[in-house]
Amino acid sequence: MAGPGSRASYGQNGTGSIETLGVGMVNPSISNETQRLATARDAALTQAQAKMLSILRNRPSDSVEDQEKLKAGILRDAYVVKTQWADDGTCQVTLRLKKPL
């Protein structure tokens, strides 16, 4: 269920958490370095959130309310665990959700 750049641990370790990795590239047309890095981070975060939503949407859930939240794209309680930057400005963001819906 979890694809590349995604980890879901529901089994023996009992963490019940989901982690996803998003990668964002810098936009070379932006001349301001701070804006370029922020744009790359935003792209990485968006990708990590999309992966997490995909994992959650493919999980069975008995609750209609949970399904409605997922349809709306709400990721409550998900937080950034790690942000890493490469020399070329590429950003990697690891997003974790401790207690999935």
Predicted confidence (pLDDT) per residue in 15-71, tens digit = 678 899 999 999 989 999 999 999 999 999 999 999 988 887 777 765 777 777 776
Q: Where are the alpha helices (DSSP H) in 1-101?
A: 33-57, 64-72
Confidence of residue 11 (pLDDT cuts 50, 70, 90): very low
- Of 27, 8, 3, nearest in space to 19 by CA: 8
CA separation, residue 72 to residues 43, 84, 92 (Å): 20, 29, 25
| Residue ranges of domains in the chain, CATH in brackets | 6-97 (3.30.1660)
The predicted pLDDT at position 1 comes to 38
pTM of the predicted model as reported, rounded to 2 decimal places: 0.76
Confidence of residue 9 (pLDDT cuts 50, 70, 90): very low
Other CB atoms within 10 Å distance of the CB of residue 67: 14
